[in-house]
Amino acid sequence: MLHIKCPHCGMRSQNEFSYGGDATVKRPALNKEVTDQEWDNFVYNRVSPRGKHLELWQHLSGCRQWIKVERDTATHEIFNTYKTNEEIA
Amino acid sequence: MQKYSIFSLVKNALTGHQNWDLAWKDPNPKEEYDVVIIGGGGHGLATAYYLAKEHQITKVAIIEKGWIGGGNVGRNTTIIRSNYMHDENGLFSEFGMDLWRKMSQDLNYNVMFSPRGIINLAHSDAQMNAYARRGNSMRLNGIDAVLLNREEVKEIIPMADFSDNVRFPIFGGLMQPSAGTARHDAVAWGYARQADSMGVDIIQNCEVTGFEVSAGKIKGIRTSRGNIKAKKVGLCVAGSTNILAEKLNMTLPIETHLLQACVSEPVKPVLDKVVTFGAGHFYISQSDKGEMVMGGDLDGYNSYAQRGNLPTLQHVLTEGIAMMPFLSKLKMLRTWGGIMDMSMDGSPIIDKTHIDGLYLNCGWCYGGFKATPASGWTFAHTIAQDRVHELNAGYSLNRFSTGHLIDEKGLGTKTWIS
């Protein structure tokens, strides 16, 4: 069982959360010519690293806020959690 | 190679089973090969076998980080089927069904292929309509499909919950009678033994640490047991695809996720079909030892851990008990996890890459085991001829940018969602 510290509600069990994927993926800027490659990278291509991974989770059965979680994909250790608008060093 | 038969069994029994040949050797890597296959799982072993058998390319090495049969080919729920709606998936899988039927004879190794049939249960009128459509598509591709109503399903699996007051009543189901199961380890061992006998080097405990690429062409690989030159290299590493892709500066439409399976304590024969729950994601069959073999959803987050968490297992088994209440009386014997190469449309990739001589086989999602022979056969063809076969033409890497997705389940790009 993962225990995720929601930055709004505190430590909660995995059961309350739903996963939202890689949080480092950025949508191409608006009002700009976007190449096929850029769209590909945004929609389909993923690094999926073994190790530290910054990802989106939603506290679905809690405050319903989306949050960012920094987690190890090999050990499942959670290093830190952030609000979505928080600056990450 | 020693042929396995009743006569060789009797002969070796008389000499106390001391004189059996090793099923495959344990060679050191040579300096150079025509083809290097990375990944000694089912697909890699099958690829090497068909390279030797169909294309007479025998200067081949299989490079395996662990031991053969220790990855997903030894961790799956052994289900074999071709009940797909889309042409690409249906024709590819049905070609594989033919190879499955002949496999034990072909490999001289009993893979215990058991075409017992699979039933996908439907729990609403809409789902029955969708299954009728899928069944018709299957039959157009020459795959057997039978649409069953509630009474017919009850006849076949009376132990399922047919009571009146259930959340997901069984409306009927779609059956593929020719689907079934096989002994997964035997598939790996059978391919390994035959490939070895035709001259393929199976090199275990050898980790790939990098690639030699010059002027857009593959020259070889770097491994924990030294550098190996190769004219062609095939990647067949399932959940580890992204790790190797990173070494090649490639970003792929693949995420690595965790999938669990489990078996109950063995019980007397009760279920002679593979059955899937239609209102969630749960599948079950009974092994020859009597264990109920079960699996379902991914854990749902990127993972390389090869071990799962309890919430997902609990969720999956709740579905199982909703479908077959007697399961609640059984004790759990084992649970385990494997890492899946989840592609962005749920269908695999068997293709050439932008690097000359480098070939890619990945994206098998939930369905890698049943694809073992067809994947090996088409991948061997792609490598040997340096062009895709019509069977895997749809499984191209660039289908994501051209929009020719094969989205069998209609899940979009989040195939890990549950």
Instruction: Say which of A43, A48, A74 has its CB closest to residue B255.
Output: A48
Beta carbons within 8 Å of A8's beta carbon, 6+ residues apart: A59, A62, A63, A65, A67, A83
Q: Does residue A37 sit at the B interface (CB-CB below 8 Å)?
A: yes
Structural tokens at position A14: 């995995």
The share of chain B scoring above pLDDT 90, in percent, equals: 96
| pLDDT per position as a tens digit, B161-195 | 999 889 999 999 999 999 999 999 999 999 999 99
Question: In sequence order, what are the residues at sequence separation of 6 or more whose Cβ sits closer than 8 angstroms to the Cβ of residue B4?
Answer: B108, B109
Q: Which residues contact B312 (CB under 8 A, 6 or more apart)?
A: B260, B296, B297, B298, B299, B300
A74 falls within a domain? yes
Contact A14 B311 (CB under 8 A): yes
Domain membership of residue A21 (yes or no) is yes
Query: ipTM more than 0.85?
Result: yes
B123 pLDDT higher than 90: yes
Q: Is A65 within the bounds of a domain?
A: yes
User: Does residue A13 sit within a domain?
Assistant: yes
In a domain, A70, yes or no: yes
- Split at pLDDT 50, 70, 90, the class of B411 is confident
Cβ contacts of B302 on chain A, cutoff 8 Å = 21-22, 48, 53, 55, 73
CB contact (8 A) between residue A14 and residue B344: no
Position B418 confidence tier, pLDDT thresholds 50, 70, 90: low
Q: Tell me if residue B113 falls in helix, strand or coil.
A: coil
- The model's pTM: 0.96
Of the candidates B304, B310, B401, the beta carbon closest to that of A50 is on B304
pLDDT tens across B238-293, in order?
A: 999 999 999 999 999 999 999 999 999 999 999 999 999 999 999 999 999 999 99
Cα B150 to chain centroid, rounded: 31
Q: What is the mean pLDDT of residues B328-357?
A: 96
The whole-angstrom distance between A84's CA and the closest CA on chain B is: 18
Structural domains in chain A (count): 1
Q: Tell me: the pLDDT tens digits for B67-122?
A: 999 999 999 999 999 999 999 999 999 999 999 999 999 999 999 999 999 999 99
Q: Provide the residue range defining the domain that includes A61.
A: 3-83
Domain assignment present for A64: yes
Q: Which residues of B touch A (CB under 8 A)?
A: 242-243, 246, 251-256, 300-305, 309-311, 344, 400-401, 413-414, 416
Asked, for residue A88, whether it belongs to a domain, the answer is no
User: Does a structural domain hold residue A48?
Assistant: yes
CATH number reported for the structural domain that contains residue A52 in this entry: 3.30.2270.10
Q: Tens digits of per-residue pLDDT, B133-147?
A: 999 999 999 999 999
State the smallest CA–CA distance between residue B75 and chain A in angstroms.
18
pLDDT tens-digit readout, A19-60: 999 999 999 999 999 998 999 999 999 999 999 999 999 999
